[in-house]
């Protein structure tokens, strides 16, 4: 068993048994479902909008090299500097070099899951830079020393009282249970940091090829300050974030907001068009963009699962996933939690180490129905399971399934085996058998009938 | 019409009354019903476990079993979804692809067959109980069946249908998932079973016997008063 699987099984079991925490998450998502449905109802046709959003992403992803080249040419024309990073280490080195070249000291960062993916904060802190998260949820998680719980709602699992305690401990503020006051505490603390920072690091929601602009979506305004106040802006983005046209955002931005957060539009949607130009009074002096592959091209090379690169990281699939809701986001041990995380992590970080996430699903398909860009999520979990069985078959699975197949190929053996199974069921239930023992721990089986269907069909009156 | 029954392997062995009830309703509607005893398991456990080479053998076997059948009807959204959605995917690019597509087109889930193929909603059943309905995920999201079973239930004399919270939430069965990840599966059963118990219904009805195994198993262990019942058993009831 891989280490990541052992940790997952342990954490998932603990969290699934924590009824209070599960109820808290369920309640936190309760308002989302109501708002999402209200907003979806405002679309003339949500399903057609999904088609359009999916097509916009499909069109860019399936011609990725050309669309990226177009984007880069336009981005550079706007005065930005592009850096290509093959993997996490290269991306970290690029950003560290930008910081060193500019004698930076303080760094402020807005929400960017790609930076979590490359463990950027660790690298920056090790190199001696102070780095502060400016998104409220990420700020809270940074103080807690914990990874984001949900890639859109990073601290959705943290109760208000715990946030108050956290602020008291780290910022020395008086305890309060008012969400507004807690927000103001963080706001007061962060304001000066924007002014002091030399570098602002952001993510990117979309890269617009035809204009060379970066689109960033946020609710707090912190990304705008992060991008605008420090003298250097560094954006970090996966290569799959590119879209062809500015007009694509007219469907993608509202759908991102509605599917992910139940909003008509996210509060701030900003297009960044390069560094401060001659005659402009504000904006960064330098604008860097780090374009990260980190195994995305491996996913691109797989025609069956390429659509996973459509993902706009809205989080809708997490919000509806019964697995996510019952085990929580931290148990995954991945940057991207929930169904999309279970689909892509084996591609990004290795099938052998991460296939267990594809197994940990009842394949209910709620995620696929929720996805605004129509990623075939739950079927990709099946594809991962198949690929893993081919790549690294486990002896137990091979014996179990070949044994089962040996029986079901022979109806007489199936019938005879069934008869023995039914006759010994009361005894079997007491034995610590693999699979069955685990089942019986929390659930009963129906009483075994004396005669099977096939027996009764053959001899109705016997 | 001559209907060939597709009886899921665990229905055959554990809940034969579901198969018998399915046949009873179809016969009552004047159809000829056959059961081909060469059938066993559709191969879904292996398919879902990634063992597609093993599942492919089961699929090819099933093609042979049901060769020449006019229509194949199964009282399980899950097993029917295996035949209809996943056999074609499994056998794509093999010499069996055309036959898999052909079988898929002739295979129906029981409530779907009644409502969509036969155009029947009132099957002449009487069942004076309060029931709530559980949508199995395969019926709901692979076969896109939601109204069909409800229309059938609403036409049953004396039956009161009440909807449940968490109506479209998975019960947590998921085949071997329920045994490989028992803690997650049980948490899901708690959410589903708890909501079902709160409806105050006498029975939770579903078109999926595998969900009923999970839901019923949890309800029984927790001593909840609501009982699992397959929709075919409700539709077969006439007293």
List, for residues A343-363, the tens digit of each pLDDT value.
Answer: 999 999 999 999 999 999 999
Q: Is the pTM of this model over 0.90?
A: yes
Confidence of residue B23 (pLDDT cuts 50, 70, 90): very high
Dihedrals phi, psi of B194, to nearest 5 degrees: -60, -45
A435/B contact by beta carbon, under 8 A: yes
Q: What separation in angstroms does the CA of A27 have from each of A84, A258, A316, A319, A404?
A: 42, 19, 16, 12, 42
> By CA distance, what is B46's nearest residue in A?
A401
Is B140 inside a domain boundary? Answer: yes
B174: phi > 0 → left, psi -120 to 50 → alpha, else beta; which?
left
Say whether both A279 and A414 belong to one domain. no
Of A360, A439, A454, Cβ closest to residue B37? A454
Is A285's pLDDT higher than 80?
yes
**CA of residue B32 relative to chain centroid, distance:** 21
Nearest to A222 by CA among A240, A241, A203: A203
Tokens of A33: 């479902």
Q: With H, G, I as helix, E, B as strand and everything else as coil, classify residue A287.
A: strand
| Full residue range of the structural domain in which residue B159 is found | 130-236
**A428 and A279 assigned to the same domain:** no
Domain boundary among A294, A324, A352: A294
Whether residues B194 and B231 share a domain: the answer is yes
Inform me whether the pLDDT recorded for A154 exceeds 90: yes
Q: Measured between alpha carbons, how far is residue A123 from residues A95, A102, A130, A449, A450 in Å? A: 10, 17, 11, 63, 66
Extract the tokens encoding A378: 């739950």
| Number of separate domains in chain A | 2
B36 CB near a chain A CB, below 8 Å?
A: no
Burial class (CB in 10 A: 0-12, 13-18, 19+), A450: exposed
**Per-residue pLDDT tens for B108-123?**
999 999 999 999 999 9
pLDDT > 90: what percent of chain A? 95
What are the angstrom distances between the C-alpha of A10 and each of A16, A336, B119? 10, 19, 50
Helix (H, G, I), strand (E, B) or coil at A239: helix
Q: Does the ipTM surpass 0.90?
A: yes
pLDDT at A462 over 80: no
Is B12 a domain residue? yes
Q: State whether A362 and B172 contact (CB < 8 Å).
A: yes
The pLDDT tens digits for A174-231 are 999 999 999 999 999 999 999 999 999 999 999 999 999 999 999 999 999 999 999 9
pLDDT at A393 over 90: no
Cα Rg of chain A, angstroms? 26
Biggest distance spanned by C-alpha atoms of chain B: 52
Residue A434's pLDDT is what?
85
Q: How far apart are CA A235 and CA A288, in angstroms?
A: 6
Q: What is the pLDDT of residues A231-263, one digit of tens each?
A: 999 999 999 999 999 999 999 999 999 999 999
B137 and B108 housed in the same domain: no
Q: Of A266, A215, A278, whose CA–CA distance to A242 is shortest?
A: A215
B180 & B157 share domain = yes
The verdict on B89 and B147 lying in the same domain is no
Quick one: what percent of chain B has pLDDT higher than 90? Answer: 99
Q: Is the dihedral of CA A269, A275, A281, A283 positive or negative?
A: positive
- CATH code, domain with A84: 3.40.50.10420
User: Which residue, among B117, B134, B114, B112, has the nearest Cα to B203 in the 3D structure?
Assistant: B134
Domain boundary among B89, B117, B145: B117
Candidates A13, A362, A414; nearest CB to B183: A13
The tally of domains found in chain B comes to 2
Give A21's contacts in chain B (Cβ within 8 Å).
Answer: none
Q: Are residues B179 and B213 in the same domain?
A: yes
B125 assigned to some structural domain: no
Work out the mean pLDDT of chain A and round it to a whole number.
Answer: 96
pLDDT of residue B168: 95
| Residues in B touching A409 (Cβ below 8 Å) | 40, 57-58, 61
Looking at the structure, do residues A287 and A402 belong to the same domain, yes or no?
no
Establish if B229 belongs to a structural domain.
yes
pLDDT in tens, B178-189: 999 999 999 999
Q: B174 and B224 share a domain?
A: yes
Residue A116 confidence (pLDDT) above 90? yes
Question: What stretch of H or E contains A453?
Answer: helix A453-458
Q: What CA–CA distance (Å, rounded) separates A246 from A109?
A: 26
**Do B142 and B70 sit in the same domain of this protein?**
no
Give, for A414, the enclosing helix (H) or strand (E): helix A411-428
Last residue in a domain, options B94, B117, B140: B117
Between residues B40 and A282, the one the model is more confident about:
B40
Q: Has residue B20 been placed in a domain?
A: yes
Q: Is the pLDDT score of B239 beyond 70?
A: no
Residue B109 domain-assigned (yes or no): yes
- The SS3 assignment for A199 reads strand
For A257-399, strand residue ranges (E) read 268-272, 286-292
**What distances in angstroms separate CA A335 from CA A154, A202, A317, A331, A332, one per listed residue?**
11, 17, 15, 11, 8
- According to DSSP, the residues that pair with B74 across neighbouring strands are B109
Assess if residue A403 is contained within a domain: yes
B10 touches chain A (CB under 8 A): no
Tell me the residues of chain A between 131 and 150 that have a Cβ less than 8 Å away from chain B: none
Last residue of a domain, one of A243, A275, A294: A294
pLDDT at residue A392, rounded to an integer: 85
Q: Which domain holds residue A415?
A: 398-458
CB contact under 8 A, A369 and B141: yes
Looking at the fold, whether B52 and B105 belong to one and the same domain comes out as: yes
Average pLDDT, integer, range A34-54: 98
Shared domain for B66 and B163, answered yes or no, is no
A214 occurs within a structural domain: yes
| Contact residues, chain B, for A384 at CB < 8 Å | 50
- Place A69 in a pLDDT band, splitting at 50, 70 and 90: very high
The answer to whether B40 contacts A409, with C-beta atoms less than 8 Å apart, is yes
Same domain flag for B111 and B6: yes
Question: Hey, what are A149's tokens?
Answer: 């719980």
Q: How far apart are CA B48 and CA B55, in angstroms?
A: 9
> Which percentage of chain A shows pLDDT scores above 70?
100
CB contact under 8 A, A363 and B51: no
What does the block give as tokens for A297? 């091209």
Nearest-Cα distance to chain A for B91, in Å, is: 14
Q: Do A122 and A230 meet the contact criterion of CB atoms below 8 Å apart?
A: no
Q: How many helices (H) and strands (E) does chain A have?
A: 24, 10
pLDDT the model gives residue A1: 76
Q: Is residue A377 part of a domain?
A: no
Last residue of a domain, one of B87, B117, B147: B117
Q: Please say which residue of A294, A321, A344 terminates a domain.
A: A294
Which position has the token pair 């940057």?
A: A335
Q: Verify that B17 and B104 share a domain, yes or no.
A: yes
Do residues B154 and B232 share a domain? yes
Alpha-carbon distance of A248 to A211, in angstroms, equals 12
Whole-angstrom distance, CA of residue A28 vs CA of residue A362: 23
- Residue ranges of A 331-370 with Cβ closer than 8 A to chain B: 359-366, 368-369
Residues A59 and A190 placed together within one structural domain of the fold: yes
| pLDDT at site A19 | 94
Tell me whether residue A216 is in a domain.
Answer: yes
The tokens describing A391, both together, are 């790549």
* A325 interaction partners in chain B (CB closer than 8 Å): 191
Residues 6+ apart with CB under 8 A from A232: A98, A102, A104, A198, A199, A200, A284, A285, A286, A287, A288
Tell me the sheet residues that pair with A460. none
Provide the CATH number for the domain around residue B104: 3.40.50
Asked if A109 contacts A198 with a C-beta cutoff of 8 angstroms, the reply is: no
Q: Does residue B140 surpass a pLDDT of 90?
A: yes
Mean pLDDT for A309-337 is 97
Structure tokens at A313: 């990281």
- Say if residue A290 is in the same domain as residue A414: no
Looking at beta carbons, which residues of chain B come within 8 Å of A16? 183-184, 186-187
d(CA A172, CA A143): 13
- For B64-68, the CB contacts below 8 A with 24+ separation are B64/B38, B65/B36, B65/B38, B65/B39, B66/B4, B66/B6, B66/B36, B66/B39, B66/B103, B66/B106, B66/B107, B67/B99
Residue A130 lies in a domain: yes
The secondary structure of chain B as a DSSP string is -EEEE---HHHHHT-HHHHHHHHHHHHHTT-EEEE-TT----SHHHHHTT-HHHHHHHHHHHHHHTTT-SEEEES-HHHHHIIIIIHHHHHTTSTTHHHHHHHHHHEEEHHHIIIIIS-------B--SEEEEE--HIIIIIS--SHHHHHHHHTSBT-EEE--TTTTS--S-TTTHHHHSHHHHHHHHHHHHHHHHHTT-SEEEES-HHHHHHHHHHHHHHT-S-EEEEHHHHHH---
Task: Tell me what the mean pLDDT of segment A410-422 comes to.
Answer: 97
């Amino acid at each position: 068993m891989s280490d990541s699987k052992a940790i997952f099984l342990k954490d998932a079991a603990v969290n699934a048994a924590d009824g209070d925490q599960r109820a808290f998450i369920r309640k936190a998502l309760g308002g989302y479902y109501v708002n999402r449905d209200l907003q979806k109802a405002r679309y003339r046709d949500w399903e057609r909008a999904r088609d359009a959003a999916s097509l916009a992403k499909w069109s860019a992803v399936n011609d990725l090299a050309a669309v990226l080249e177009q984007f880069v040419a336009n981005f550079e024309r706007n005065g930005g500097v592009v850096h290509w990073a093959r993997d996490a280490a290269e991306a970290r080195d690029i950003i560290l070099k930008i910081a060193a070249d500019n004698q930076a000291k303080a760094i402020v960062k807005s929400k960017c899951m790609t930076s979590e993916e490359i463990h950027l904060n660790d690298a920056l802190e090790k190199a001696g830079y102070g780095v502060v998260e400016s998104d409220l949820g990420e700020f809270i998680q940074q103080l807690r020393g914990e990874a984001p719980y949900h890639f859109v709602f990073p601290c959705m699992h943290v109760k208000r009282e715990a946030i108050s305690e956290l602020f008291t401990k780290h910022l020395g503020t008086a305890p309060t249970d008012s969400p507004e006051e807690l927000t103001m505490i963080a706001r007061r603390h962060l304001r000066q940091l924007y002014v002091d920072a030399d570098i602002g690091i952001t993510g990117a929601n979309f890269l617009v090829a035809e204009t060379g602009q970066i689109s960033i979506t946020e609710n707090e305004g912190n990304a705008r300050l992060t991008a605008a106040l420090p003298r250097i802006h560094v954006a970090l983005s996966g290569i799959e974030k590119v879209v062809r046209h500015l007009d694509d955002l007219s469907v993608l931005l509202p759908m991102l907001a509605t599917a992910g957060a139940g909003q008509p539009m996210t509060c701030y949607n900003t297009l960044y068009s390069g560094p401060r130009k001659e005659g402009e009074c504000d904006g960064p002096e330098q604008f860097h963009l780090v374009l990260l592959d980190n195994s995305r091209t491996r996913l691109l090379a797989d025609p069956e699962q390429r659509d996973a690169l459509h993902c706009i990281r809205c989080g809708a699939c997490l919000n509806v996933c019964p697995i996510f809701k019952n085990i929580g986001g931290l148990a995954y041990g991945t940057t991207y939690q929930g169904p999309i995380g279970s689909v892509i992590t084996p591609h990004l970080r290795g099938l052998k180490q991460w296939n267990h996430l594809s197994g940990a699903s009842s394949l209910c398909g709620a995620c696929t129905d929720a996805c605004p860009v129509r990623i075939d999520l739950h079927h990709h979990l099946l594809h991962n399971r198949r690929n893993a069985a081919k790549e690294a078959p486990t002896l137990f699975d091979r014996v179990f399934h070949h044994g089962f197949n040996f029986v079901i190929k022979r109806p007489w053996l199936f019938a005879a085996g069934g008869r023995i199974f039914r006759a010994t069921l009361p005894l079997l239930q007491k034995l610590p058998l693999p699979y069955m023992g685990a089942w019986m721990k929390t659930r009963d089986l129906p009483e075994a009938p004396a005669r099977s269907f096939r027996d009764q069909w053959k001899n109705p009156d016997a | 019409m001559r209907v060939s029954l597709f009886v899921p392997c665990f229905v055959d062995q554990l809940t034969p009354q579901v198969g018998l009830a399915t046949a009873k309703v179809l016969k009552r509607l004047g159809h000829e019903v056959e059961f081909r005893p060469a059938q066993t398991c559709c191969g879904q456990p292996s398919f879902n476990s990634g063992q597609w080479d093993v599942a492919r053998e089961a699929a090819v076997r099933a093609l042979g079993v049901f060769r020449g059948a006019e229509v194949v009807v199964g009282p399980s959204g899950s097993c029917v979804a295996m035949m209809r959605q996943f056999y074609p995917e499994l056998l794509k690019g093999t010499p069996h692809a055309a036959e898999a597509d052909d079988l898929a087109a002739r295979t129906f889930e029981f409530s779907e067959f009644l409502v969509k193929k036969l155009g029947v909603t009132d099957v002449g059943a009487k069942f004076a109980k309060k029931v709530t309905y559980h949508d199995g995920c395969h019926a709901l999201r692979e076969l896109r069946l939601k109204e069909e079973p409800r229309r059938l239930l609403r036409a049953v004399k004396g039956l009161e249908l009440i909807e449940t919270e968490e109506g479209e939430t998975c019960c947590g069965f998921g085949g071997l998932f329920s045994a490989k990840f028992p803690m997650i599966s049980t948490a899901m059963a708690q959410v589903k079973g708890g909501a079902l118990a709160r409806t105050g219904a006498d029975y939770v009805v579903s078109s999926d016997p595998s969900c009923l195994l999970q839901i019923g198993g949890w309800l029984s262990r927790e001593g909840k008063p609501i009982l699992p019942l397959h929709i075919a058993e409700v539709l077969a009831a006439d007293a």
